[in-house]
Amino acid sequence: MDGKFALTPKGVRLMIIGLVVMIAGYILMCGPAVKDPAVFNYEMFDFRRLVAAPVVIVCGIVIEIVAIMRVVRKEEEK
């Protein structure tokens, strides 16, 4: 082994950004507490939970994949 880390500092930053984006998606998916469990709450099926949150989570996963699979150029290694 030559002692080099597999990810560059820019790749590590991208990994952290992807993680933050995924956490934001999971926070978007959360909702308020149910006041009465016997009453059905239609807010469970709103746009934010069914569309926006999964799209944000997938974007975070794509950022993670880009951070891992990114090709390092020679001038970035220095």
Q: Is the pLDDT of residue 4 over 90?
A: no
Within-domain flag for 3:
no
Within-domain flag for 2:
no
Classify residue 38 by its DSSP letter: T
* Residue 46: exposure state from Cβ atoms within 10 A (0-12, 13-18, ≥19): exposed
Rounded Cα gap, residues 41 and 35, in angstroms: 9
Within-domain flag for 73:
yes
Q: Which domain holds residue 37?
A: 9-77
Top pLDDT among 29 and 78 is at 29
Number of folded domains that form the chain: 1
Least Cα distance to 68 among 23, 4, 8 occurs for 8
Within-domain flag for 64:
yes
What's the pLDDT band for 75 if we cut at 50, 70, 90? low
Within-domain flag for 46:
yes
Joined together, the tokens standing for residue 36 give 């009465």
pTM reported for the whole predicted model: 0.80
Rg (CA), the chain: 19
